């Protein structure tokens, strides 16, 4: 069943409560949108602060996955950062792996 929403004269849309519950949205939310075949499609999105973007680079994610694989294979009992780990700001020199 198609639901309706109203746009204000300034272009604001109110997301109906039923839609917010279905998408588990609370408070403010950011969306990406696009027009597809004459329809506006809104997709909830997550904005990452610029200072945290390094954690989502492919190089960092690959290093994290390699470390996880080593832990799963029981090949690592502790991790000591090296020069290539410069993105770990002021962390401890050794991290124990439980």
Q: Indicate whether 69 belongs to any domain.
A: yes
Q: Indicate whether 84 belongs to any domain.
A: yes
Q: Indicate whether 91 belongs to any domain.
A: yes
Q: Indicate whether 5 belongs to any domain.
A: no
33-83 confidence digits (pLDDT tens): 999 999 999 998 888 888 888 888 898 899 888 888 888 887 766 666 666
Among candidates 32, 34, 56, which has minimal Cα distance to 46? 32
Q: Indicate whether 40 belongs to any domain.
A: no
Residues 27, 28, 32, 35, CA torsion sign: positive
How many structural domains are present in the chain? Answer: 1
pTM above 0.75, yes or no: no
Q: Indicate whether 39 belongs to any domain.
A: no
Burial (CB count within 10 angstroms: exposed 0-12, middle 13-18, buried 19+), residue 38: exposed
pLDDT at 1: 78
Q: Indicate whether 85 belongs to any domain.
A: yes
Range of the domain at 61: 50-96
Note whether 97 and 76 are within 8 A (CB). yes
Among candidates 48, 44, 90, 98, which has minimal Cα distance to 72? 98
Q: Indicate whether 72 belongs to any domain.
A: yes
Among candidates 24, 29, 25, 97, which has minimal Cα distance to 67? 97
């Amino acid at each position: 069943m198609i639901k309706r929403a109203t746009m204000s004269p300034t272009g604001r849309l109110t997301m109906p409560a039923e839609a917010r519950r279905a998408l588990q949205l609370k408070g403010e939310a950011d969306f990406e949108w696009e027009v597809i075949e004459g329809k506006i499609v809104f997709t909830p999105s997550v904005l990452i602060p610029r200072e945290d973007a390094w954690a989502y680079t492919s190089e960092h994610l690959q290093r994290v996955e390699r470390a996880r694989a080593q832990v799963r294979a029981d090949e690592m009992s502790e991790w000591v950062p090296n020069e290539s780990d410069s993105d770990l700001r002021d962390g401890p020199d050794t991290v124990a792996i439980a």
